[in-house]
Amino acid sequence: MKAPLRDIHPAIFVCFLIALAVGPCAFHVGSNSLRLRRMEGVFRAVPHPPGTELIRLRSDIGILHGNSNHCDFFVGELRRYGGSESAIREHYSDPRVLATLSKDLSLELVFIQNGKIPDDEDMPDALRNLSEWDLPPGETRAYLVFVFDQHEPNLDPRCH
């Protein structure tokens, strides 16, 4: 026996209300995740200096720096190096390397000193803890290279 039509309507109405409430959030979560994946793709195209080695790649989205009312996007690598800091800096400042980035992204470089990120370096607060980067104990020649971007949070719950 079929359920009366009047019993179906409240269920449909409730589903409609849920979709109305969740839909915009899901849309913004999806669009921000897509933005992060695009940043990852752009970042992966950046050539790294010879004699450097990847330790860890990280990407994240949310409130990574400062207060709310924005959405932070981060993609970066912790790398080991054997040459000089100046050679590393020179490599990443080469216009051919920078040309791999989109116009709205800049490549940031932070050298690890005494197993720590220097306090004066402008880096997202949520990513300053090197234990989360899997920095090997006693590693003295490492650096972070990353891109960081901020946008409106819209309705993405990760950014509120």
Reported pTM: 0.80
> Please, which residues bridge with residue 73 across strands?
61, 149
What is the C-alpha separation between 67 and 64, in angstroms, rounded?
Answer: 9
Q: What is the pLDDT along the chain (160 residues), one digit of tens a residue?
A: 565 555 566 777 676 666 666 656 666 677 788 888 988 998 999 999 999 999 999 999 888 877 767 888 899 999 999 999 999 999 999 988 888 787 778 899 999 988 888 887 777 877 888 888 888 888 889 999 999 888 776 767 777 7
SS (H, E, C) 66-131: CCCCCEEEEEEEEEEECCCHHHHHHHHHCHHHHCCCCCCCCCEEEECECCECCCCCCCCHHHCCHH
